Chains A and B, each alone.
Chain A
Amino acid sequence: MNEDRRRLLKQLGAVAGLSLGAGYVSLAPSGWPLSLKDPDGERGKPRGTSLRLPEKGFAVDPSGVLPHLGVARGANVDAMLKAAVDAIGGIHRFVKTGDVVLVKPNVAFERSAPLGATSNPEVVAALVRLCREAGAAEVRVADNPIESPAACFARSGVQRAAVDAGSEVYLPTASDFRMLETPGATHIARWPFFWRPFQGVTKVIGVAPVKDHNLCRASMTTKNWYGLLGGRRNQFHQDIHGIIADLALMLRPTFVVLDGTRVLWRSGPTGGSLSDVKEGRTLIASTDSLAADAFGWDELLERKGELLPAYFEKAAARGLGTPDWRSTNVREIQVG
């Protein structure tokens, strides 16, 4: 009988141990060791490895003598763009023969170009031509509007302009996104990224309009990279300044163009009324997104004297630019 009791106790102990173990792994909070708890199904989702953008981004070697900010004013978009880029070293400093260039406009909304909610298609076309003339093997134009991408590209006129100028337009599809790792980022350390147009790319140029913004007060070249994110990116609006600072970290472009040909000076970012738009007649080329945006804040949105939006300070604290554009080397040109 003693032998039976011992056997019984052993087996009961084994069953109890297994039950406790099973209960633990299934009920323990998801952060605990060996826990299998998956209340929202996230842990069950496939988790592949990620990609990273080049460590130093797509920037060219910095220059100690060339201006960081080229500002061209006038009416002829091609001439203005060339003058602005010439001011920071010329297109050949940035684009070499054989380069594959990605141009990232802001095509976030299904609005016609005069309403100022999207990049001016003439500026996008001029930029594509400039890159082509510099010997780029291929120029791609890509953005990921949340709203119907095809409709946004068509209504804004960017698609037609970009294609006519000699580029390929990449519209996002479900298979175009990959997980991107951005070490040091607060919100997007690992986040779906519009990856397909980046394959084989050697240079990246952003071209963004100057817009008022309901949440972050101003949307310009730094905020423009938001359009490369996938997933439920709207959640980041809870910390809009934090995510913009992350975007500055995520993508370090070859240079940026701040499209001040039109300025959506209120009711942004969507706009709608022509009375919210004013002629800016200005194009800025810069190797420093924060300096370009700060110039836009002061001179194009005409908010000089108002405190800059918080994302400037957050991004500057990471060493990603200089919001004090007056302290940088600036060259201003009147064209025509």
Chain B
Amino acid sequence: MGAAPARSAPPGLDASERRVLNPRPFRVFRKTYSVTEAKAGAAVVVLLALVAAWVAWRGAHPDPSLVADPATPTAPAEAPVALSAAPARSAPDAVPSVPPVAPDRGNLPVAPDRGVLPAALAGKGWSEGPLARFDAENLYVKINGRADFFLARGFRSLTFVTLSGPAGAVVDVELYDLGSPENALGAFSAEKTPEAKPKSGGGTSWYVARNALFVARGASYVRAIGSDESPAVVAQLEHLRKTFEGGIAAGEKPWTVALFGDALGLPPDRLQYTAESAFSFGFARNVSSATLDDGETELFVLPAGDEGKAKALSAQFEKGFLSYGEKAVVAGEPWIKDRYLGAFSRAKAAGTFVVGVRGAPEVAKAAEALAKLERAVLALSPDVAKKAAAGPPTAAKGDADE
């Protein structure tokens, strides 16, 4: 292998002007160019100029959606405006005198899919408007300020429809898919007013509050809001109740319904489910509870995983109750008496669960109910215990910013 021959510069150029490591890159080596080459080059330059002009124009006229919220109309800021010096409007461009406006769904998402919403919602003399569907991302569009309530209860979707009836009466139907009967009953119970007298049977819990119907069935929680409490609206609400009972699947009976119902005879509409921080205790998760007939004594149960954890968790409850009460032994049993309300509370391990009582005005009744609950919990099958430990599904992923 001999040394590679040195590369020689083109004729007329010295060695410093070689193409490799050329120190004078802009030097013209060719004497002439073809006309075609020049035309092609000019075309490329024109094309690049057009692209540059397009980019500049788009920059000056941006798509409003770039700065707009999907739900709320916004626009980019433009020229600086001192409000006091803002030009007066030359002509009224607001909505002038407007006859009754047909509800314009505007930018609401319209979904042809009814989900679990039954057909034939409109009774005689009523008609159904277009459907709208909302998920966790845009629930706030429909119920801004109230969305958190449902997002905390396993929210999946809201299907909304307006029914129009005689004499301008309307009923708005809001069907919330909350993913599980526990969540649906939890929402139903939490929104229920103290004076409401709910009825339960056949997998449905419901009540009517003047102009409005509230129903929990299966994983669905339905609110039907009438514009008034006229006979036409009330009749339509009754039609809706029957339609929901027949048209929404009742689903599997939640274990808590069986537990509180069979052991203590408490109807499903008394049930509450709290996924996080029950009773304002950060450690209290996955808590199911129900109120006794006195309206104050609250029985609760939650899975702990195993017996050791159940004992530790019950001790945490005792510590929590002690933060606003003192120990009190009643009939040989340790209770904690609220120093402000005088009510009694207690928690104890029952197998892999923790059971307890909160806010009981009478210890004797509370102890009796707690004993029943404890026996019922200890009688739960391992399968049920496993299901309980998993808890109902949480909200679908979405914007929980609301």
Q: Is the CB of A52 within 8 A of B23?
A: no
Q: Does A54 contact B (CB under 8 A)?
A: yes
Report the separation of the CA atoms of residues A197 and B83 in the bound assembly, to the nearest whole angstrom: 11
**Most central of B89, B102, B149, B191 by chain A CB within 10 Å:** B89
Q: Is the CB of A46 within 8 A of B76?
A: yes
Q: Is the CB of A46 within 8 A of B67?
A: yes
Q: Is the CB of B228 within 8 A of A114?
A: yes
Produce 1/0 per residue, A143-158, CB < 8 A to B.
0101111110111000
Contacts of B78 in A (CB 8 A): 48-49, 178
Q: Does B178 contact A (CB under 8 A)?
A: no
Question: Which of A21-29, A252-260, A269-277, A285-293 contacts its partner?
Answer: A269-277
Q: Is the CB of B225 within 8 A of A272?
A: yes
Contacts of B98 in A (CB 8 A): 159-160, 163, 169
A234 in complex: contacting residue of B79, B100, B106, B144, CB < 8 Å: B144
Report the separation of the CA atoms of residues A172 and B95 in the bound assembly, to the nearest whole angstrom: 10
Report the separation of the CA atoms of residues A274 and B210 in the bound assembly, to the nearest whole angstrom: 6
Q: Does B140 contact A (CB under 8 A)?
A: yes
Contacts of B148 in A (CB 8 A): 214-215, 237
Q: Is the CB of B21 within 8 A of A200?
A: no
Q: Does A267 contact B (CB under 8 A)?
A: yes
A272 in complex: contacting residue of B62, B92, B142, B212, CB < 8 Å: B212
Q: Is the CB of B64 within 8 A of A174?
A: yes
Task: Enumerate A213-242 residues with CB–CB distance to B below 8 Å.
Answer: 213-215, 219, 230-235, 237-238
Q: Does B3 contact A (CB under 8 A)?
A: no
- A199-B149 contact, Cβ under 8 Å, with A53-B83, A174-B75: no
**Closest partner residue, chain B, to A200 (CB atom):** B88
**Closest partner residue, chain B, to A153 (CB atom):** B101
Q: Does B72 contact A (CB under 8 A)?
A: yes
**Closest partner residue, chain B, to A229 (CB atom):** B72
Q: Is the CB of A273 within 8 A of B212?
A: yes
- A112-B228 contact, Cβ under 8 Å, with A48-B76, A155-B103, A275-B210: yes
- What is the minimal beta-carbon distance from A30 to any residue of chain B, in angstroms? 18
Q: Is the CB of B80 within 8 A of A50?
A: yes
Task: Enumerate B217-231 residues with CB–CB distance to A below 8 Å.
Answer: 223, 225, 227-229
- A192-B75 contact, Cβ under 8 Å, with A45-B62, A51-B83: yes
Q: Does A188 contact B (CB under 8 A)?
A: no
Contacts of A174 in B (CB 8 A): 64, 68, 73-75
Q: Is the CB of B21 within 8 A of A4?
A: yes
**Closest partner residue, chain B, to A168 (CB atom):** B94
Q: Is the CB of B94 within 8 A of A49?
A: no
Q: Does B402 contact A (CB under 8 A)?
A: yes
Report the separation of the CA atoms of residues A112 and B68 in the bound assembly, to the nearest whole angstrom: 29
- What is the minimal beta-carbon distance from B13 to any residue of chain A, in angstroms? 16
Q: Is the CB of A274 within 8 A of B88?
A: no
- A52-B146 contact, Cβ under 8 Å, with A150-B106, A199-B88, A273-B210: no
Q: Is the CB of B86 within 8 A of A199?
A: yes
A8 in complex: contacting residue of B21, B74, B210, CB < 8 Å: B21
- A175-B64 contact, Cβ under 8 Å, with A46-B59, A52-B82, A231-B74: yes
**Closest partner residue, chain A, to B141 (CB atom):** A146
Report the separation of the CA atoms of residues A237 and B152 in the bound assembly, to the nearest whole angstrom: 14
**Closest partner residue, chain A, to B96 (CB atom):** A168
Produce 1/0 per residue, A89-130, CB < 8 A to B.
000000000001000000011111011000000000000000
- What is the minimal beta-carbon distance from B232 to any residue of chain A, in angstroms? 14
**Closest partner residue, chain B, to A167 (CB atom):** B94
**Closest partner residue, chain B, to A191 (CB atom):** B74
B209 in complex: contacting residue of A11, A111, A168, A274, CB < 8 Å: A274
Q: Does B71 contact A (CB under 8 A)?
A: yes
Interface size on B, residues (CB 8 A): 69
Q: Is the CB of B69 within 8 A of A230?
A: yes
Report the separation of the CA atoms of residues A328 and B377 in the bound assembly, to the nearest whole angstrom: 59
- What is the minimal beta-carbon distance from A109 to any residue of chain B, in angstroms? 8
Q: Is the CB of A144 within 8 A of B77?
A: no
Contacts of A140 in B (CB 8 A): 94
- A148-B107 contact, Cβ under 8 Å, with A48-B78, A51-B77, A215-B145: yes
Produce 1/0 per residue, B45-75, CB < 8 A to A.
0000000000000010010101111011111
- What is the minimal beta-carbon distance from B55 to any residue of chain A, in angstroms? 12
**Closest partner residue, chain B, to A170 (CB atom):** B94
Q: Is the CB of B225 within 8 A of A230?
A: no
B73 in complex: contacting residue of A109, A172, A237, CB < 8 Å: A172
Contacts of B82 in A (CB 8 A): 51-52
- What is the minimal beta-carbon distance from A110 to any residue of chain B, in angstroms? 7
**Closest partner residue, chain B, to A227 (CB atom):** B144
Contacts of B103 in A (CB 8 A): 110, 148, 150-151, 154-155
Contacts of A47 in B (CB 8 A): 76-77
Closest 9 CB pairs of A and B: A179-B77, A48-B77, A151-B103, A154-B101, A230-B74, A148-B106, A51-B81, A174-B73, A273-B212
Binding site for A on B (CB under 8 A): 21, 23, 59, 62, 64, 66-69, 71-84, 86-89, 92, 94-98, 100-108, 140-149, 170, 172, 191, 193, 195, 209-212, 223, 225, 227-229, 399, 401-402
30 CB-based A-B contacts, threshold 8 Å: A11-B21, A45-B62, A54-B84, A112-B228, A146-B71, A146-B141, A147-B108, A147-B141, A150-B104, A154-B100, A159-B101, A168-B94, A170-B94, A177-B75, A178-B78, A197-B94, A199-B86, A199-B87, A215-B145, A219-B145, A230-B74, A233-B72, A234-B144, A234-B147, A234-B402, A238-B401, A266-B193, A270-B145, A275-B193, A275-B195
Binding site for B on A (CB under 8 A): 4, 7-8, 11, 45-54, 100, 108-112, 114-115, 140, 144, 146-151, 153-155, 159-160, 163, 168-179, 192, 195-201, 213-215, 219, 230-235, 237-238, 266-270, 272-276
| Extra 18 A-B pairs, beta carbons < 8 Å, given A215-B148, A275-B212 | A45-B66, A46-B66, A48-B79, A51-B82, A108-B144, A109-B143, A112-B227, A114-B228, A148-B105, A148-B107, A155-B170, A159-B98, A169-B94, A196-B94, A199-B88, A214-B149, A230-B72, A275-B209
